[in-house]
Chains A and B, each alone.
Chain A
């Protein structure tokens, strides 16, 4: 980052906001890991803890909003400082959504407690591992103002989307084979979708980091994502011509 401000309190305020974001990101990363662990291990207690912990994520978002508004009002930031502040608001809101998704995974893991374990949780666990790595790396790129690292995360979202696409197909097959599996599979499908959305928000953050550093939005088109919305309702799994 650039040299220090002449007014030291300004740097302290920016540091506080920065640290709040990194703390929030760290918690979200743990929340996702814990929710997946709860799912794989069928750990009801851990899942409940994830659900209550989401409040901490929400509280940090409120704190970041407050700090950002305060700096805007008192310091009239411009140029890179202004970009950092608008970026922080966006990143906090992305992280808050990611936290919600992790909590939702935890809720659904409780809902499928009673039902036969399905081997698919391993595929979900692998997919969540990629998403978790994205969260970690994108936060590091935010901390270090590292565009290359941010854009590497941005490209990696494709992996998560592909995992989601194959899970979607598999889950459909399971449901067709045995209607008793529809309920747990529907939950698993939502869980996979939540993780896929977490990857999208990590991608948003990567774009925000790029904007902070370069001052211009990412021009490139996002890598091709989730194609499941093109699947036809009759169970055909080939993407249509359109």
Chain B
């Protein structure tokens, strides 16, 4: 799987535009390469506009956190990145979003393939009502990434290892995924997402249903996963955004208010609205 992603990296070598969030980033490289770019993204639910001209780049091997009050558009934006909004009839998306410089809304794009490359983890762990093994093996099998037998076993084991779950479940792979604890189920869902070698992982409030210990394990996992993937995470927990991300985007009323290095956002944000929100002063 690493060879695959390395090949993708080479496609992004020539960065034409300056990265939106580079420069002030202390923990980050001088000019991180961008895996995904969103430009002038507008989203409408029927007549109601939910997002206004959003520009965000997702830097390779970095975690980008999307924060903001409920209804600010952060989840709507996240769902644009693997075209989950297509499912909603009244939803219309304009602007451009590219993955490795290819327009993901282009005609030649197979949405199923896109969602394999841009995986997603949801708020509530949602394992299939199948065994732990099958939960992870399902994706690689239907995408034809691995055949039966030892090859598939290896993919399952490696995915569970990367998700930090293998040691806890190695002796009961045939038990139902739903028999695990909430935190384990969420890591199982992460293992399921990474089993098909995505390049980008989208996480929508992945820890909001977990206790602090399980949350800490998932956060640690996110930090490890960014070695191999590009991650975008929506979170209501600002401390979590501060802990896990390198870049933070603050949304308010459908507008991207501020997009900066996380350290900058949490020590000296430029916009008063960002300051009011993160310091707990929002009316």
Real binding pair: yes
Interface, chain A (partner B; CB < 8 A): 2-7, 10, 76-83, 215-216
For chains A and B in complex, what number of residue pairs have CB atoms within 8 angstroms? Answer: 44
Beyond contacts A79-B266, A79-B278, A82-B267: 16 other A-B pairs, Cβ-Cβ < 8 A, are A2-B276, A2-B279, A3-B283, A4-B281, A6-B282, A10-B280, A77-B279, A78-B242, A78-B267, A79-B265, A79-B268, A79-B274, A79-B279, A80-B275, A81-B279, A82-B266
Closest Cβ of chain B to A35, distance in Å, is: 39
Closest Cβ of chain B to A87, distance in Å, is: 12
Interface, chain B (partner A; CB < 8 A): 238-239, 242, 265-269, 272, 274-276, 278-283
Residues of A within 8 A of B281 (CB): 2-6
**Which of A5, A6, A76, A215 interacts with B267 by CB under 8 Å?**
A215
Is there contact, CB below 8 Å, between B280 and A83? no
Is there contact, CB below 8 Å, between B280 and A2? no
In the complex, A36 Cα to B274 Cα: how many Å? 48
Is there contact, CB below 8 Å, between A79 and B269? yes
Q: Which residue of A lies closest to B282 (CB)?
A: A6
Q: Which residue of B lies closest to A215 (CB)?
A: B268
**Which of A3, A4, A78 interacts with B238 by CB under 8 Å?**
A78
A contacts with B: majority SS = loop
Cross-chain pairs A/B with CB under 8 angstroms, 28 sampled: A2-B275, A2-B276, A2-B279, A3-B276, A3-B281, A3-B283, A5-B280, A5-B281, A6-B281, A6-B282, A7-B280, A10-B280, A77-B279, A78-B242, A78-B267, A78-B278, A78-B279, A79-B269, A79-B274, A79-B275, A79-B278, A79-B279, A80-B275, A82-B266, A82-B267, A83-B268, A215-B267, A216-B268
Residues of A within 8 A of B269 (CB): 79
In the complex, A10 Cα to B281 Cα: how many Å? 10
Closest Cβ of chain A to B67, distance in Å, is: 11
Closest Cβ of chain B to A4, distance in Å, is: 7
In the complex, A79 Cα to B24 Cα: how many Å? 16
Is there contact, CB below 8 Å, between A79 and B267? yes
Residues of A within 8 A of B279 (CB): 2, 5, 77-81
Residues of B within 8 A of A77 (CB): 279
